[in-house]
Structure 1
């Protein structure tokens, strides 16, 4: 099924995804350089180089659009300023102590409205 919402949404890369994107681009560049050295300047070479770019684009899009469960979990990681070590857990849970410095995904910004439930 075609997921129009997912396919037309910006996907902020995680650290692991950035490394994968770079590895794919590096291998694509390596192949493009081989073609530039080996193939005569022609329509066919231009077409081959364009297909390398397209392959890199779609490979990276697949990573961005379909992150693995571990990457999704790390997207909700906060840093404990006392230890500077990642702390996994609920992104809405406050940090221990009085530390309220947090990192939020853009769609997870805290709601500043007053709670009307009376709790």
Structure 2
């Protein structure tokens, strides 16, 4: 468990390739957020949908930044 905690709270630098992939994900999630904002009335449900997209962005970024290269496996 200690190793998992250290991994979860470690600050990582990302490679240019990882940064580019993270930006691709961000752009698409942001586009979906705008579609929801433009089409759904202001409501608790809309706020939750946008929050879940923000969570998806954070988890995607974590997945990209935490990936291990073939050299470190």
TM-score scaled to structure 1, two decimals? 0.55
Q: Which residue of 2 aligns with 1:60?
A: 61
**Separation of aligned partners in 1, 2:68 and 2:30:** 24
Give the TM-score normalised by the residue count of structure 2.
0.87
| 1: CA distance, partners of 2:40 / 2:55 | 19
Higher helix share: 2
Q: Which has the higher contact order (CA 8 A, sep 6+)?
A: 2
Q: Corresponding residue for 2:6?
A: 5
Structure 2 gaps, min length 5: none
Is residue 22 of structure 1 aligned with residue 32 of structure 2? no
- Structure (1 or 2) with the greater strand fraction: 1
- Cα distance in 1, alignment partners of residues 8 and 35 from structure 2: 32
SS at match of 1:10: coil
Task: State the superposition RMSD in angstroms.
Answer: 1.7
Shift of 1:67: 3.3
CA–CA distance in structure 2, aligned partners of residues 42 and 64 of structure 1: 33
| Number of matched pairs | 71
Q: 1:20-99, aligned counterparts within 5 Å?
A: 20-69=21-70
